[in-house]
A = this chain, B = another copy of it.
Amino acid sequence: MALICTGTIGIDTVYTPHGHREKILGGSCTYFAAAASFYGPVRIVAAAGDDFPAEFHKTLKSFAGIDTTGLEIRKGSKTFAWGGKYLENMNSRETLFTELGVLGERPPEVPAAFADSQYIFLANSHPGVQLGMLNSLPKRRFAVADTMDLWINIARAELDLLLTKIDGLVLNYDEAELLTGKSNTVAAARAILHMGPKFVVVKKGEHGCLLVHKDGIAALPAYPTETVIDPTGAGDSFAGGMMGHIASHGMKTSQATSFNVLRESLAHGTVIASFNIESFSLDRLSKLTRAELDKRYAEYVSMVRV
């Protein structure tokens, strides 16, 4: 069933304690789609400038499941570029530069061929843009959005409206605190449930994630790994595994938003994200095999069982 992701495609420069890479393929749509493609087809809606390297396009197309029809290349515009540096423990990063490029222009359009999409992931962007995307997808069964501190601070009214229209919100624990004023993660997530969504997923990086839902709370640890080369895209590949799992089963809204299904989908997200962070850009996911993914998923499920 048709899964779609709207977000960014970018050119990243990343410094980590393990080395650095300049001008590599990045962006929320990129990581989401690469991860989701292991579960089934995924459509992307994003814009790039005419400086977007042909090899990046080729990399995206190398994932059989990714449909790049909605990747708009704009003449005379520049691709979004981001530079970041991870600190020693890999949990914190600082932004070195942000060149908005096309992100400062009009949002990309949803191609007519994508209008029947049913599973929607609105990667982090201005909630006004997210609302516009959502409204252009009338066949939606299941919509999940990500957000960030910037929008909580400067676009609260649009974000509040968005929260009443989506099934689930995915965000970091510090953003959950900022959105609600509650420093306890569980209390913050419960407060967000009162703002509209049926469930909230709080991402805690190496400490895993928390699902808060009217029918319960699930806490999933991250896959414990010694190989953390570049955490960039962990959250988006996590969302890609989660949504990919749900879309691939063609679930109805009631099923997709049920507690047990969501918990299982988060395990898929956790495992595919653990591969993503083993290398820069899509280097690891490009080489990942279905057998490796299945093996680690089984290992993870056994690891968290009591």
Contacts and interface: CB of A to CB of B under 8 A. Distances in A.
A101 interface: no
Interface string A75-115: 00000000000001110000000000000000000000000
Interface string A150-181: 00000000000000000000000000000000
A208 B210 CA distance: 12
A220 B221 contact: yes
Contact of A224 (B217, B221, B267): B217
Contacts of A222: 219
Given A226-B187, A228-B184, A267 B306 contact: yes
B190 A226 contact: yes
Contact of A207 (B208, B217, B225): B208
A207 B210 contact: no
- Chain copies in the assembled complex: 2
Contact of A303 (B88, B218, B301): B218
Nearest to A184: B226
A90 B303 CA distance: 28
A207 to B, nearest CB: 4
A304 B304 contact: yes
A220 B228 CA distance: 20
Interface of A: 88-90, 183-187, 190, 204, 206-208, 210, 216-226, 228, 263-264, 267, 300-301, 303-306
24 contacts: A88-B183, A90-B184, A184-B226, A184-B228, A185-B206, A204-B207, A208-B208, A208-B219, A210-B221, A216-B303, A217-B303, A218-B303, A218-B304, A219-B221, A219-B223, A219-B224, A220-B221, A220-B304, A263-B306, A267-B306, A301-B306, A304-B305, A304-B306, A305-B306
